[in-house]
Chain A
Amino acid sequence: MTRLSGNSKHSVRMTVNGRAHEGYAEPRMLLADFLRHELGLYGTHVGCEHGVCGACTVLIDGVPSRSCTQYAVQADGASIETVESLADGDTLNALQAAFRNNHALQCGFCTAGILMSATAFLEETPAPTELQVREMLSGHICRCTGYDGIVRAILEAAGVQAEGKAA
């Protein structure tokens, strides 16, 4: 494993949202801080810095990951997707549009992380049950919505009608 000096900044290269980025980070700089303050991608939010709330979730090589509990240097060479990747210009993608239609957000602070988890979830589970959606969502804390709109939105994006919770 490469040894990095603790006191100096190191070049970190990664592909973010399909575009090559380079920035500089001390080894202890969190990936979330790197994305936000080094690369200027402020759409990723930090809610707890201990991996529980899920607000900072991004996709690292396609896998939903907490960007607050890993270092930027660990993601050197990785391909990362953040919330900024989802819309096509001004046009919301199907998941984002479903969030809007179902009032799945209020303050919107937790939303980016949920969108990223849901993106990966729907790729693996294209026709989820409500319970599966809720289990996936349980890795995120939202304090505004009570989750119902989010559940409906994800089911709508999957093309599944919301049924009873036992489904």
Chain B
Amino acid sequence: MAETEVPTDGSSGKPGRWPDRWIGKSVPRKEDAALLTGSARFIDDMEPVAGLRHAAILRSPYAHAKITSIDASAALALSGVYGVVTGEQVAEYLRGIPSVVRTPIRFMPIAIDKARFVGEPVAVVVARDRYLAEDALDLIEVEYEPLDAAIDAEAAMADDAPVLHDVAGSNVAGHRTIINGDPESAFDEAAHVVSLDFHIQRYSSTPMETYGVVANFESVPDRYTVWSNFQGPFVIQPLMAGALGVPGNRLRLITAQASGGSFGIKQGVAAYIVLLCAVSRILGVPVKWTEDRLEHLAASSAATGRSGTVTGAFAADGELTALRFRNINDMGAFLRPPEPASVYRMQSTLNGCYGVQNIHTENYLVVTNKVPVGLNRGYGGTQFFYSLERFMDHAARELNIDPVDLRRRNFIDKDAFPYETPGGSVMDAGDYQKCVDELEARADYQALKKRRDEKRAEGKLYGIGIACAVEPSGSNMGYVSLAQTPEERAKSGAKSGANSSVVISMDPSGGVTVQLDSTPNGQGHATVTAQIVADALGITPDDVDVITEIDTMTSPWSIGSGNYGNRFSVAVTDAVVEGADRVARKLKIMAADQLECAVEDVELVEGQARIVGSDKALSLTRVGTQAHWNPVNLPDGVEPGIYETTTVTADLDGPTPEDTVASSVTYGAIFDLAAVEIDAETGRITIEKYVSVHDVGELLNPKIVEGQIIGGFVHGLGGAMFEEMTYDEDGNFLSGTFADYLCPTAMEVPDFEVGHVPTPSPKTKLGAKGLGDGSSMLAPAALTNAVADALGRADISPPLTMPKVWRWLQETKA
């Protein structure tokens, strides 16, 4: 790419060689050199405190069992074993964590009297090294009394199903109906009513780096310090402190310099942070634990599984007038905070890309004997858009309207933005017709339909699938309380907004450093931040150091901090722009004083503070360091030092009494098309074409945007084609290795074509929207639609594995 030609080191400071702006350029990543040379440090590379001992965790082999006794004497007798901690001991120092849902169920990170999923922690061994700790696990005698397990969520709702939590008396931990508009009348008046049952499985984005925690309890004063690869949302920090029974400033969380991917999954590290804090306190030693892959697959987290029915009302011309969703959500063994956020994240955008005004939603939150669910790429969007977009393709077939055409008839018009959805979101900008023009052109849709006709004439199984989604980004911290009734919300404190904090400083040598609260896991936040600050201060991205570690004792942070909800490019960048502008303003005031000119006449360019249109200039370092070296002689009103802390929030209020809420800051859009051919003999699916058109608003760094989009697609591809956390009917976990849990490799990724139709967001300072979820939310819908089209049947569900497709083919033949 031509725009990468601009050198980003200080040597480029020759007149005329600087770009107008660094933002918008594919600036090479600041993060890469350390990662490529093996010098970046991840959590397992750290020994941050002396005297570390190593933990291994004994886990339940049963999906559901009473724990009648634990005998750790043989383990304790092993030389090198420092201690064994059981759930009962942990319970003395750790309270169960409540969910926002009014249920007596509390989440505990270790089983006490009962194990509720295979892999649930039962005891923790601490020893000199991990090998020894694992030896000791084998010596712990646990007596279990196995119970029948509730594995299938729908079956778990039955009156006679085994109950996970006796205190709740039922596996239905929550049930809410929310009605926006007047769906009942719309259904009464409909020319057509179409319905589709659906199911989407539980799967996981499985970051390559597993969880890691170092927990240290200091007794004078009482304080827990934790190093980990937790990624937020930091709204969980006060919950963790509450569980440990300490004020928030006595639970110090520090994140590692580098984090090996997350895709939301590392939110689940929180469970192990509190568990290992308790263990460190009980044994009086600092404890390190690194999750292994089996532990990760069995017991870290999963995407929410969902089955249910979508029903839609259509006018005679194909206008979608109402939608009804009945969702049964498979939450796993607990409602582990921030759940049930996965169920409510899309609540205010249930209209998708469409102008439908009347929506009825019924959600069941069902606990099952499986690992609890949590954040996973596309959080809540994958499940929702799977149901909506499967439904739209199915309805098109039922109504005998082309699926692209049916969508076009229902899109929100570009002139209708900002558009208030029935659920209360204010969608910022978009041009969905133009996006689909681009999709049709790139895919050559008309030719593709001819190809399908020709293939079918030859007796081949060929199908085309379409799907589209909006991409809510920058989450309102208030949306999760939609899980409560308006009356319940009125009793608890109000919640709103989306805070972001940043510190920008210039040190006495002129070094510029930015501290972020976004805990990235590979998304290039440092690079984009450096681009923004370089633009504001007239320096290069290489002149800007970016710190991405959070230390809750020394960094600015808030409950919104962390890496989730496509937060960076909409919320964090706003804080960076604001902070950088403040620093630039201060530098200009100082420069004007030294250059003896008006502040308005100073520009910061090419490493200098310059009088506009003249050669008169001072180096920025010379100007800025005066704040440290010569504070007495600063202009009036200028504070000594350069250390600007900026916290901004998006203007997003909490839910209304009518159950509406603006869930997010921006709403990007995604339009996907998949064309597949299925081998009738084997069931093998060949993805012949996959085209994806995105509206991400302004592209802050096109190369990083492209990487995010392709990566998101491949997550969706995995969920569509291969990945499932599988259990047998007794709840035994069957996908505990990467040989059983199949992620796409380079051989499975088809050609993937990306188009952009950006409409800048009026809600963000840079016009950017969020983009991290991308086609991870859509590929399961688009590909299942294509396979349904090829097979001519609607009753299929992902993952579209070869054996499953083969079985469907046999059923069709029979």
Contact = CB atoms under 8 A, between A and B. Distances in A.
Interface string B687-724: 00000000000000001101100110111000000000
Contacts of B707: 103, 106, 144-146, 149
B36 A137 contact: no
Nearest to B704: A103
Given A109-B207, A150-B746, A165-B751, A103 B706 contact: yes
B38 A147 contact: no
Nearest to A46: B44
A107 B37 CA distance: 13
Given A46-B44, A99-B32, A144-B711, A107 B258 contact: yes
A134 interface: yes
B35 A105 contact: yes
A146 B710 contact: yes
A23 interface: no
Contacts of B205: 143
Contact of A143 (B28, B29, B704, B715): B715
Q: Which size bracket describes the interface of A in this complex?
A: 35 or more
Interface in A114-167: 115, 133-135, 137-151, 165
Nearest to A135: B747
A145 B710 contact: yes
B131 interface: yes
B207 A107 contact: yes
A140 B706 CA distance: 21
Interface stretch (B479-487, B508-516, B736-744): B736-744
A48 B739 CA distance: 10
Given A141-B743, A148-B749, A43 B737 contact: no
A102 B379 CA distance: 28
Contact of B261 (A28, A100, A106, A149): A106
Given A82-B38, A99-B32, A149-B707, A138 B261 contact: no
Contacts of B31: 108
Contacts of A48: 293, 737-738
Given A101-B4, A107-B209, A44 B739 contact: no
Given A50-B737, A103-B707, A106-B707, A142 B208 contact: yes
A104 B38 CA distance: 15
Interface residues of B, number: 54
Contact of A147 (B45, B260, B737, B749): B749
B746 A151 contact: yes
A97 to B, nearest CB: 8
Nearest to A110: B208
B37 A108 contact: no
B18 interface: no
B2 to A, nearest CB: 13
Given A138-B747, A143-B205, A100 B38 contact: no
Contacts of A31: none
B131 A96 contact: no
A138 B746 contact: yes
A75 to B, nearest CB: 18
A36 interface: yes
Nearest to B717: A146
B263 interface: yes
B39 interface: yes
B40 interface: yes
Interface in A16-57: 26, 28-29, 36, 41-50, 52-53, 55
A67 interface: no
Contacts of A147: 714, 745-746, 749
B261 A144 contact: yes
Contacts of A140: 745-746
A83 interface: yes
Interface string A65-96: 00000000000000000111011001010001
Interface in B258-308: 258-261, 263, 292-293
Contact of A115 (B36, B41, B210): B36
Given A100-B29, A107-B521, A146-B711, A47 B38 contact: no
A64 to B, nearest CB: 16
B522 A108 contact: yes
A151 B706 CA distance: 15
A47 B209 contact: yes
Nearest to A85: B38
B523 interface: yes
Contact of B522 (A36, A41, A106, A134): A106
Nearest to A109: B260
A42 B746 contact: no
A165 B746 CA distance: 11
Contacts of B263: 143
Most B CB within 10 A of own CB, among A44, A90, A92, A100: A100
A46 B293 CA distance: 9
A92 B34 CA distance: 10
A111 B38 CA distance: 9
B33 A36 contact: no
A101 B4 CA distance: 9
B626 interface: no
Contacts of A105: 32, 35-36, 522
23 contacts: A42-B38, A42-B42, A48-B737, A53-B208, A53-B293, A84-B37, A86-B36, A87-B37, A105-B35, A106-B522, A106-B707, A107-B258, A108-B35, A108-B36, A109-B208, A134-B747, A138-B745, A141-B745, A143-B206, A143-B208, A143-B261, A146-B710, A150-B746
- 8 closest A-B pairs by beta carbon, nearest first, are A43-B38, A108-B35, A107-B522, A109-B260, A106-B522, A146-B710, A52-B738, A146-B714
Interface of A: 26, 28-29, 36, 41-50, 52-53, 55, 82-84, 86-87, 90, 92, 96, 99-101, 103, 105-112, 115, 133-135, 137-151, 165
